[in-house]
Amino acid sequence: KAGVTQTPRYLIKTRGQQVTLSCSPISGHRSVSWYQQTPGQGLQFLFEYFSETQRNKGNFPGRFSGRQFSNSRSEMNVSTLELGDSALYLCASSLVSGNTGELFFGEGSRLTVL
């Protein structure tokens, strides 16, 4: 069974640009969550999608958005990039949403903003 796949693995952008990251969950998983990991702030929850609907959202500005497609693949978008958006963006999938526990993580997309 293939794991969680994130693309691209690495990317470099400049301030003011926008970026789209993609996440393909484990086959059969319907919940996809996104996390931002930085040395200063650690791991922070961005949002969760389940059955194409955003279920939960973290405390990030509106520049951070996402969506989920009917095949459960998810994308997140960051517009008007700032230097502070440089981070490892992790995607996690699970079978269902809610208090069910276990999430499976991808290897992440490393975004550098210059």
Partner 1 sequence: AQTVTQSQPEMSVQEAETVTLSCTYDTSESDYYLFWYKQPPSRQMILVIRQEAYKQQNATENRFSVNFQKAAKSFSLKISDSQLGDAAMYFCACLGGGAQKLVFGQGTRLTINP
Contacts with partner 1 by CB under 8 A lie at: 31, 33, 35, 42-43, 45, 48, 50, 55-56, 58, 88, 90, 92, 94, 97-108
Nearer to partner 1, 17 or 51 (CB): 51
Task: Output the smallest distance, CB 83 to partner 1, in A.
Answer: 21
Q: Which is nearest to 73 in space by CA: 91, 55, 100?
A: 91
Dist. CA 57–CA 53, nearest whole Å: 11
Q: Which amino acid is at 1?
A: K
Task: Output the smallest distance, CB 7 to partner 1, in A.
Answer: 14
Q: Are 66 and 54 in contact (CB under 8 A)?
A: yes
Task: Output the smallest distance, CB 19 to partner 1, in A.
Answer: 19
Nearer to partner 1, 21 or 92 (CB): 92
Query: What are the structure tokens assigned to 36, written together?
Result: 């931002």
